[in-house]
Chain A
Amino acid sequence: VHLLESGGGLVQPGGSLRLSCAASGFSLSNYAMNWVRQAPGKGLEWVSTMRSSGDDTRYTDSVKGRFTISRDNSKNTLYLQMNSLRAEDTAVYYCAKVAISSSWDIFFDGWGQGTLVTVSS
């Protein structure tokens, strides 16, 4: 199981970024997939989850209406479209896989190395 995030960088407040998470060694469509972030020097914060079926997505309140989780099964890649970015969105963003296929049991047994998003003018 390998997860590789990309797409992070420096963006101005109000700007947009799309993060990608390329998966190998398993099929994304068999697992609920997630984004978890960690602000510099801070703890872990759950951001979003997509069910394995793809028909159910959840978000933490602070990103609702601004972030969208999606995936491309043909590329085995998970995405996080981030719009209207704020300084408080600055963090390392990890994609994370749940442990049990086709389940809604959200605990994470596979993590990428993370990609840093910095929102600053």
Chain B
Amino acid sequence: QSALTQPASVSGSPGQSITISCTGTSSDVGRYKYVSWYQQYPDKVPKLMIYEVNNRPSGVSNRFSGSKSGNTASLTISGLQAEDEADYYCSSYTSNSTVVFGGGTKLTV
């Protein structure tokens, strides 16, 4: 299975909004609602930020939102803050009953 495609890096200024894309295929992102997003600081454990395309776990800021169109999912962070600077990974369930991650996107604020 091939990794989902994410931009290597995105950047934004404090207060702005940014969007990170995650492109898969009709066998994963395009087929299921099971797309998740994770935030990871350097040398830290990944943290679930979005699940099932657009759901936020308890405690995650509402500045984080998710969406999907066709084979591409997106994570939007509004009102950027310095603390949002991290790596972000998407993942999707696949038609083979497996899970595939994206290559990760480094967000610079």
A joins B in a complex: no
Q: Which residues of B contact A (CB under 8 A)?
A: none
Q: Which residues of A contact B (CB under 8 A)?
A: none
